[in-house]
Structure 1
Amino acid sequence: MEAPHPTPSTPEPSDAPEQGAPPPFSTALRTASHEQHTEAENSSFMSRLLGGRLGVAAYRRYTEQLWFIYRALEDVSPDLAADPVAGPFIRPELARTAELERDLARLSGPHWHTAVDPLPATAVYADRIATCARDWPAGYVAHHYTRYLGDLSGGQIIRGTAEKTWGFARKGDGVRFYVFDGIDNPAAFKRAYRARLDALPVDDLEKQRTIDECKRAFALNSTLFRELAEEFPLSA
């Protein structure tokens, strides 16, 4: 679930600041949310999924939940594109909704829309993203950071597991969510993303609120993973 990703995966550290200087905001964000990130990353559901101990139905159900979350993130993109805080993070090469729909068509057939429903944790998560998008651009950035940098980092582990465990074609439908055709150099993209975080045009109080919202995003992911674990116990 830097998501999530799913299991959101934190980015590499920024360049070290000069001695005595405060750390860059991207570093502060990463460091402050480390505990919550670790909890989400080590959830029993994700551990079992990555270990190949759950069937493709669990992967499909997780992908369905991601669809609701990324719709909440991306349906508001046109409205936020000109916002001075959130706008710099709205990048078309990150968009995942269409890729998730390709995956779900592969996983559940052409009529997959008729069968998907959000878990309670997913509904809360998506609603929180929508609230931030409407009322608090810096809070939206916290969710954006948590999800998309996770997709570019730890999300690639999920792709590899899915290809190996359930036989999806390499970077084909079924794992398209994790494939970023528009990003040739993920490491460079992540460095540029962190630079935008460091240049966030808000004061220190707002930055602290953004850090707190990032922690909340990881907690929402953890709750989602707990509900998925209950739906897919190991005995199943």
Structure 2
Amino acid sequence: MTATTDALAPTAEVIPFSRLVRERSSGSHRDSEGAGFMHGLLKGEATRDDYIALVSQHWAIYEALEGVEPAMREVALVAPFLSPALTRLPALEADLAFLIGDDWREQLQLVPATIAYAARIREVAATWPAGYIAHHYTRYLGDLSGGLHIGRVIGRQFGFETNGIGFYLFDDIADPAAFKDAYRSQLDAAPWAPGEQERVVDEVLRAYDFNTRIFEQLSARTAAA
């Protein structure tokens, strides 16, 4: 009787890690996307200077994220996630040169949350590779999702075709949806250490919090100007 009962008992659903991350971070994702600065940008209410401010923050974030890639390629857990097709830093630098001029580095104005965000990326890259994956996932899959839409909106608003919005153009990724599916499969297959998945989810939430604070600080700076 017991054996029959056990055989008929429903088995617990095993949730893929990629699905767990998406479900657990969906609220934070919506909060970040709905921040006042981004809402204004997507509604066509932002200025060119507002957009330049956003590109400047992106440069600092990706300079941290991609600056540590050579070391991350030597880490077995991280290496499968690194793809040259995702690289954004050269496009960001070209965008800034177009938007500001060749002296764009001297004109960068970073908000405190951006500086803290970049520092956190470098910290986890040096001490906890799985944490680096959390930030890599948050940034690049976001770029291949809502980022593509943002690029189209900005292009229409300011009359950009490619110059100025190169960050949002992934010429080497023909099918973003397929690329994201493959990335999520890598998340599911990665050899996570015991308890590490929960820590990675927490770090993804931390990344979204950094993003939200950046948008809040950009809004405050715009309001004070």
With the length of structure 1 as denominator, give the TM-score of the two structures: 0.88
The partner residue of 1:217 within 199, 207, 212 is 207
Report whether the alignment pairs 1:206 with 2:196: yes
Higher radius of gyration, 1 or 2: 2
State the partner residue of 1:127: 119
Deviations 1:31-87 (A, max 9, x none): 111111111010011000100101110000000000000000000101011212111
Q: Secondary structure at the match of 1:85?
A: coil
What's the RMSD between the two structures over aligned residues? 1.4
Larger % of helix: which? 2
Provide the residue aligned with 1:150 in structure 2: 142
For the 8 Å contact 1:39–1:222, the answer to whether it is kept is yes
- The structural deviation recorded for 1:156 is 1.1
| Matched positions, count | 216
Specify which of 159, 169, 181 is matched with residue 179 of structure 1. Answer: 169
Q: What does 1:49-88 correspond to in 2, within 5 Å? A: 49-88=41-80
Mind listing any 5+ residue stretches in structure 1 that lack a counterpart?
1-17
* Distance of aligned partners of 1:204 and 1:24 in 2 relative to their CA distance in 1, 3 Å threshold: farther
Displacement over 6 Å in runs of 4+: none
Q: Classify 1:166/1:209 alpha carbon distance in 2 versus 1 (closer, same or farther; 3 Å).
A: same
Q: Distance in 1 between matches of 2:164 and 2:79?
A: 30
CA distance in 1, matches of 2:128, 2:193: 14
Letter in 2 for 1:77: E
Q: How does 1:15-26 map to 2 (within 5 A)?
A: 20-26=12-18
Residue 104 of structure 1 is matched in structure 2 by 96
2:3 counterpart residue number: none
- The whole-number CA distance in structure 1 between the counterparts of 2:19 and 2:117 is 25
Instruction: Report the alpha carbon displacement of residue 137 of structure 1 after superposing the two structures with TM.
Output: 0.7
| Structure with larger RCO (C-alpha < 8 A, sep 6+) | 1
User: Tell me, which stretches of 5 or more residues in structure 2 are unaligned?
Assistant: 1-9
Query: Does structure 2 conserve the Cα–Cα contact (< 8 Å) formed by 1:146 and 1:214?
Result: yes
